[in-house]
Structure 1
Amino acid sequence: MLKVQEIRELIRLVDQSSIDEFTFENEGIKLIMKKNNLAEVRELSASLPVQVINTALPQAEQKPVEVSTPNVETKIEAPVITNPETAEEAKLHTITSPMVGTFYNAPSPGAEPYVKIGSPVTKETIVCIVEAMKLFNEIEADVEGEIAEILVEEGQLVEFGQPLFSVKVK
């Protein structure tokens, strides 16, 4: 999920650029930014041309939160947890890839994987390796809990920010 600082930075970059529309999708979140030139903004000051809609949790209520900058207005709809199944999902932490590279679940071919489903992890537990430009980068859990799901396959190319593991937080 995008952090407030990241959203503000995206808004600032779109505002400073010559583009009129920007779309970003990640982990079930869709961010659409549309901007008007200054003359149009003055005329249409009540409009909200930018919306973020969380499509990952369709059963959850959507509660709007508004953020604005001088030339770009934003409306963010975040889920409000209303049922026990969703509350259980909220206790899951996603470990994401910090870089583009190749995912490896073990230190070498044929070796035991770092973690399996049900493995306990601490903040310092190495959960995998992401190889980027012949450098093997060890990825730590950064949370205490238990591996609930492995979201990528051995040898799969992963993108920056792509979910790798779901961890049931203690």
Structure 2
Amino acid sequence: MKIDEILQLVDAVSKSTLTEFKYEEGAVKLSLKKTIKTVPAEAALEPVLTIQAPAAPNQPASSPANPAPAAAAASDPAGEETVSAPAAEGKIVKSPLVGTFYAAPSEDAAPFVNIGDSVKEGQVLAIVEAMKLMNDIESDYAGTVAEVLVENGDTVEYGQPLFVIK
């Protein structure tokens, strides 16, 4: 199986509602799994918010204040609930693939960009690692970085907003 074919499978699984995919052909075995990261309710400004069931049965479940009317909620098998938060204002740079987000080229290096930095179209904003391949995330827009929507080392999904450029 070629790398391009594997990347096409990763993209197809990322876009689908599948949570797990296994493929075998001869000696090649491929297993893809989606995981949903849990984010505290205080992070209501995040584009995607995951809330765990309450720890104590007598306490009410935490939820974002004034959820958007169009907020979609879905349950996954692990008992977590996903809620979409209102979109941030500005131009959104989204993740083109599933992987691990890195704000800097190495652990001891400065981030590619910080809030308030001016960016040009095509400038590298971050890296998303997928299947041990480092993929540059380039800005589709010129402007100023208004928000960084993910933390260094976070797992990101296909199409997940990463930056707001104004």
Larger Cα-atom Rg: 1
Structure whose residues are more often helix by fraction: 1
Q: Please report the TM-score for the alignment, with normalisation by the length of structure 2.
A: 0.48
Greater fraction strand: 1
